[in-house]
Amino acid sequence: MPEAVLQAMHRASPNIYGTELVELANSLYPDLQKVACTSGDAVIYIGNGHSAWEASLTNTLSRGDTVLAIVTGRFTLGWIDIAEAIGINVEAMDFGSDSTVDGDRLRQTLDDDKSHRYKAVLMVQTDTASSVNNDVLAVRSALDAVDHPALLMVDCIASLGCEEYRMDDWGVDVTVAACQKGLMTPAGLSFTFIGDKAWQAHAKADLKTAYWDWDRRVNGKIFYQKFCGTPPTHHLFGLRTALDILFEEGLDNVWQRHRNLARVVWACVDQWATDGDVRCNIKNIDNRSVAVTTVQTGTMDADRLRQWCEQQYGVILGVGLALEDVYADMPANLFRIGHMGHLNVPMLMGTLVAIDAGFKALDYPHGSGALEHASRTIANLSAA
């Protein structure tokens, strides 16, 4: 989180009846649409990502509907959990813990669904547990190839503002996002973006509830209805500043910066991988997320490394998200390097040095020269 975002939030309570707050909130919707590259309506909820998961389902589906969920790690499982709890049948299609969607297999499954039981296809763009980046267009193409009418719903919680994402060009019907990752604002706001087909589904959905209802929030005549109650005052100021920072850099440049920083991480991890058990969970570079990298440490205790980095240098690495519970062949030892949002080369290199030193201090076998590789990658990217 940029200091400027925190400073924007550090202020006295605004007048919740006044026009300043209304104008501030109204300025956010078109800018959120720009970030998701859509002309579809944006809705802001006071909640974390889970709340937008629930909102995406209740606004478009009915009790007893069936959806197809694409699993490539852990995160669609959370969405599935919410769907099942509200009476939606879920068929999960698993593509493994270290690879992306197989478009042919998906097309076949959709083609077999002649009666169009699947009302929606749920997927994550970036699975934050496995650190795979899924090709949204490939899923759109599979749906189009067999003329399947299911809604395409994409969770971009980890990837919005990091990974290139084009909701309208890619034919996405519902996008789900939250403010605390690429959007650099303290956790507490979530978003749904609504395409035309999703609005049509909304008209028939019987899971709608007053609180999550898109109609009230988009078309409500009074400001109070936009948030179904008191607006998230300070978060709105924080998000305003975060979006200003994104647009000042330019969305294309933000995506490119994330691609560049990710290359630095991969250069480093792939060099560690030349000796010992350390490796990138996602082997194929084309399928790696530019926002987060999951690192396997094989027989080496990943939590010991995490503790070492935290205690010695205050560097908090992401925990491994128990992929071994889902995939029998996954090692239990994982940590994750977050490289999303407000991040630059010096910050990233500090993290990589801490990990490299940790491997040495703890005697974990690893390829040497990883920092040199990272540095060369930076030099090449800067020269280009």
Ligand X SMILES: *Cc1c(COP(=O)(O)O)cnc(C)c1O
User: Interface with ligand X by CB under 6 A: which residues?
Assistant: 48-50, 75, 124, 126, 128, 155, 157-158, 178, 187
147 vs 110: CA distance, rounded Å: 9
| Shortest distance in whole angstroms from residue 196 CB to ligand X | 25
Phi/psi of residue 297, nearest 5 degrees: -120, 15
CB of 338 to ligand X, least distance (A): 10
Inter-CA distances, 117 with 111, 152, 171, 251, Å: 11, 14, 20, 38
Q: Which long-range contacts (CB under 8 A, 24 or more apart) does 252-260 make?
A: 254/161, 254/162, 255/162, 255/163, 255/164, 255/290, 257/343, 257/344, 258/162, 258/163, 258/182, 258/290, 258/291, 258/339, 258/340, 259/290, 260/381
Residue 200 token pair: 């049509």
Nearer to ligand X, 93 or 278 (CB): 93
Comparison of 155 and 356: residue with beta carbon closer to ligand X: 155
Closest separation in Å from C-beta 180 to ligand X: 6
Name the minimum Å distance from CB 15 to ligand X. Answer: 29
**Judged by CB, which is closer to ligand X: 162, or 300?**
162
DSSP structure string for 272-334:
HTTSSS-EES--SGGGB-SSEEEEE-TTS-HHHHHHHHHHHH---PEEP--GGGT-TTS-S-E
C-beta of residue 191 within 8 angstroms of C-beta of residue 52: yes
Q: Which 3 state secondary structure label does DSSP give 181? A: coil
CB nearer to ligand X: pick between 61 and 82: 82
Cβ of residue 129: shortest distance to ligand X, in angstroms? Answer: 8
CB 176, min distance to ligand X, A: 8
For ligand X, the closer of residues 194 and 292 by Cβ is: 292
Residue whose structure tokens are 């330019």 = 250
What residues does 152 pair with on adjacent strands? 121
Q: Give the residue closest to ligand X by C-beta.
A: 49
Helices and strands of the chain, counted as H and E runs = 14, 13
What minimum distance in Å lies between the beta carbon of 39 and ligand X? Answer: 24
Bridge partners of residue 245, in order along the sequence: none
Nearer to ligand X, 176 or 207 (CB): 176
Supply 319's token pair: 């925990």
Residue at 372: amino acid letter: E
CB of 164 or CB of 356, closer to ligand X? 164
55/88 with CB nearer ligand X: 55
The least CB distance from residue 187 to ligand X, in Å, is 6
